[in-house]
Amino acid sequence: MPPEATAAIRAPFGERLAAARSTRGSLCVGIDPHPGLLDAWGLEDSPAGLERFSLTVLEAVGPVAAALKPQVALYERHGARGLAVLETLLARAADAGVLTIADAKRGDIGSTMQAYAEAWLGEGRPLAADAVTLNPYLGFESLRPALDLAAATGRGVFVLALTSNPEGRSVQHVGGDASVARSIARAAAAENAGPGPGQVGLVIGATVGDAAQRLGLDLPSLNGPVLAPGVGAQGAGRRELEAAFGAALPFVLPTSSRAVLAAGPDTAALRAEAERTRDGLA
């Protein structure tokens, strides 16, 4: 089935995410199977342990989170068998009606970017998620294959704009009021022009403080979601989110990984921790 035909039967990602948030709250839970977490759960650092970990998180947290965000690198480290586990997770989540954001941070040019787009956003592809994170630092327009394919297939993208790691400032903050981060935010907003919530979101760390305001990012005009990693173990809570996003807070998808996952492997404890975190951000 061509992507254009699929778009007619799948609601756009922005609409599906808004619906999930209205019924399950705004929390996104990262699925980060670090070796230390696998060990804490009593699991081997192997594809089998990876699968047990991933599907347990899906079962426990899927019903109470707006989306799940598997960290692709932690599957890739197990090679083909690790990626097969990720394929299983994405398929099971789709069957359960749980939105997934593949945290792959892909970015390239030309036919290579086209291939990345098809891998993570193409209809019928084994690794296709509901959305994928993208790296725009070869130029925002280099992402065009992914932007167009996401629009065609009813999927979404989250473009790195303002990350919380100290090294990011050397690129993202350059230009002051005409910062690189601001140019990325404006380009994303242009993609979302039109009625309804757009499918192009931004990644902005929950611990960036007032950087978005200082650098002139007009987040309320984005008309799309903001993925905000850093809740919980990295120190962000409701107060930090309000400081970072202000009037744009209703569009933010706060993300917690380690703080929730540390409650496992018991599924009831995992779900309770996810609910506690979600309710504390409301």
Token pair, residue 108, equals: 């390239």
Catalytic residue among 105, 169, 173, 258: 105
Cis amide linkage into residue 220, ω under 30° from 0: no
Give the pLDDT of the chain (282 residues) as one tens digit per residue: 444 444 446 899 999 999 999 999 999 999 999 999 999 999 999 999 999 999 999 999 999 999 999 999 999 999 999 999 999 999 999 999 999 999 999 999 999 999 999 999 999 999 999 999 999 999 999 999 999 999 999 999 999 999 989 999 999 999 988 999 999 999 999 999 988 899 999 999 999 999 999 999 999 999 999 999 999 767 788 889 998 999 999 999 999 999 999 999 999 999 999 999 999 998
Q: Contact, 76 vs 27, CB < 8 A?
A: no
Delineate the domains of the chain, giving CATH numbers in brackets.
3-281 (3.20.20.70)
Residue 105 a catalytic site member: yes
At residue 178, the 3 state secondary structure works out as helix
Nearest to 187 by CA among 156, 215, 147, 149: 147
In whole angstroms, what is the distance from residue 74 CA to residue 72 CA?
A: 5
Q: What is the pTM of this model?
A: 0.95
| CA angle centred on 132, ends 67 and 45, rounded to 5° | 75
Contact 139, 173 (CB under 8 A): no
The angle formed by the CA atoms of residues 243, 244 and 245, to the nearest 5 degrees, is 100
